[in-house]
Structure 1
């Protein structure tokens, strides 16, 4: 299986086209358009690069364990969630183990599972149903095929669809019945607001402090999709929670993620992780985030406002913009590959979703207003 295709700038491609990365407006990466917080940059400036990093990330694990009300041994830091996805596959899968993918979704789940020799089973949501997931059908597949892992990105990339807590509980129950692990990727859970049943990510301390956004949706600083306070292990048996700090805090160039799971699972993952996998800069960034737990909640409304403005602008160009519970969204086009190429000629990079099995869609992640206007101007020139 070939490596997955991802968004973000391909520097070799730009070189072939005679383009310069600094001139490109990147709408293909779901990264906070507000940029890296100043408190993280200040923390990075204090790091002594002459010393090896803490190979166990003890300080950061302790800070996150406190946030999640779990034991230190239930938490593992990784070099981005991508490394952790591969660690999960390597540590928990044997050749020919069945794995269920709830698609369309992030390509690394299938790739990591294939490298471990797993047999891939696929549940495919479709645009005709708004990418809604049939939980009954998924549970039937789990009970019929008895997979070792079930991969679920929720809220989902790239579709922006969302399963509520009741649906997650049904999947968990089905997985527990057949001793499968439900890998619940919550990379984007902090970004959902209002009508979709989630509050702005404020590290979810069980509070709810809702307010009205300008577009009428509710926002607030309470809770994630699942509470980040990890309940007793017997209530969450067979679930592996996967978190990313890359998108929310604009750390794509640094890489930082973590897993919360039962101690036995974490111990197995640790045996596969290379020494010094998480560098000192990433650990310092994570500690700074823990010391500023309300920053994202305070900034997220602006992110959503820019997203709504861009959605409206694209709709005014007679483009079909799909509903999404996230600031990024899909736009229907005649040919995603051609649309991406044409817009890149105007220094605007969008995500061709052909690799997700969606060749008629591109994914758009908002940037700041000036860049968003350049995208609208470029797209208008194609109409």
Structure 2
């Protein structure tokens, strides 16, 4: 009986199922391998011991966090919204702008929440293809053609793109923003710290431009579920219409503020992971049966001969990566998060052994 009550358009949804089995090395979720900086942990401990006032609701507007972010980015505090990860912000954007029959265009392959949030809001998702035969490159012409044909409320660009790792140039994104004036251009920069490409400075010029960022990747705070958007005030005011009260916990707000103050250690961690990414790309390219896609994020997409068997044997060794099964554009592909030197070395050695023994 319950199934009949579920909206028909979401009956086919598959709940997200993270791999929670015991593991030796976890390289499947694009998490940082680094713990919180020691200074941050000490300050967080002191905050909890002193009086965190967890019996009270948190600041519903995340004022101090937004002030810290505004200073960090030289941005307008009133154009910043904090959310429970980028996921919540993506859903809020759809809830505000997408009604029954409204269209949203988004890249494929990419982050599944762009499509799902549109469907949940009652909209019509329309994909634009990142061609695997062209190394999943973005095409501004393809996006603009989609805009002219579909007249979407929202256009998504994931930059760098997850799971392919490629980027769209700043110039091409801005051309899309200039041309597609009647759509909200959402640029998801969850992994942008690993390529140093951002369009955040341009939100002052384009009222239809919104940038998503997160503390989950480069800052190593996936466990606190905190992301944010940066846009002009008018766009932020619109999204706040659907934001629930008290959406970020007091501990999450405070922890995010603390890591923003430890910029040097975070920069060192990012530089370390970029160096490891480049090392892994080179070594993966030398392994039999492995095709490597270029990446500007903290992960690498590869295509493997007999991928399902390779993935199975890695799991048997307690090494988790993300496999995409028979997904049409990603068939035979695996996404590997960049870990520490030691983790990456173990993974590369095991993968090499598996591939050469196939």
Give the TM-score range, shorter chain: 0.7 to 0.9
In structure 2, the residue matched to 1:26 is: 26
| Pairwise CA RMSD | 2.1
Change in Cα spacing, 1:290 to 1:230, as seen in structure 2 (3 Å) is farther
1:349 is the counterpart of 2:320: yes
User: Is the 2:95–2:242 Cα contact (8 Å) retained in structure 1?
Assistant: yes
Q: List runs of 5+ in structure 1 lacking aligned partners.
A: 15-19, 193-197, 199-223
Separation in structure 1 between the aligned mates of residue 104 and residue 335 of structure 2, nearest angstrom: 26
Secondary structure class of the residue paired with 2:263: coil
Of 277, 290, 294, 1:323 maps to 294
Do 1:43 and 1:284's aligned partners in 2 also have CA atoms closer than 8 Å?
Answer: no
1:73 alignment partner in structure 2: 78
Return the match for 1:85 from 90, 93, 98: 90
Does the Cα contact within 8 Å between 1:143 and 1:174 map onto a contact in 2?
no
Distance in 2 separating the partners of 1:320 and 1:362: 10
CA contact (8 A) 1:330 1:362 kept: yes
Secondary structure, aligned partner of 2:167 = coil
Q: Distance in 1 between matches of 2:239 and 2:107?
A: 23
Looking at structure 2, the residues matched to 274 and 239 of structure 1 have their Cα atoms a distance apart, in angstroms, of 22
Q: Quote the offset at 1:378 in angstroms.
A: 2.5
Structure 2 counterpart SS, 1:294:
helix
2:226 corresponds to 1:253: no
Q: Matched residues in 2 for 1:251 and 1:336: separation? A: 31
2:163 is aligned, of 143, 158, 169, to: 158
Over residues 55-93 of structure 1, what are the superposed CA-to-partner deviations in whole Å (9 max), with x where a residue is unaligned? 211111111122333333211101111111111111111
What's the offset of the Cα at 1:261? 1.8
Distance 2:285 2:149 in 1: 43
What is residue 6 of structure 2 aligned with on the other side?
none
Q: Are 2:264 and 1:294 aligned? A: yes
**CA separation of 1:321/1:382 partners in 2, compared to 1, >3 Å: closer, same or farther?**
same
Spell out, residue by residue over 1:264-283, the C-alpha distance to the aligned partner (whole angstroms, 9 max, x if none). Answer: 33223223222221011110
**How far has the Cα of 1:356 moved from its partner?**
8.1
TM-score normalised over the length of structure 1: 0.82
CA–CA separation in structure 1 for the residues paired with 2:285 and 2:35? 26
Give 1:246 shift.
0.8
Gaps of 5+ in 2: 1-9
After TM superposition, the structure 1 stretch with the greater mean CA deviation from structure 2, 307-316 or 25-34, is 307-316
- Inter-CA distance 3–263: structure 2 relative to 1 (3 Å threshold): farther
Distance 1:40 1:246 in 2: 16
What pairs up with 1:143-292 in 2 under 5 angstroms?
143-176=148-181, 179-192=182-195, 198=196, 224-226=197-199, 228-229=200-201, 232=204, 235-292=205-262
Query: Against the structure 1 CA distance between its residues 107 and 335, is the aligned structure 2 distance closer, same or farther, given a 3 Å change threshold?
Result: farther
* Deviation per residue, 1:169-192 (Å, 9 max, x gap): 11102220xx11101111111111
Between the two proteins, the alignment pairs up a number of residues equal to: 338
User: Is the 1:328–1:363 Cα contact (8 Å) retained in structure 2?
Assistant: yes
Describe the SS at the equivalent of 2:168.
coil
Rounded Cα–Cα distance in structure 2 between residues aligned with 1:373 and 1:295: 23
With the length of structure 2 as denominator, give the TM-score of the two structures: 0.87
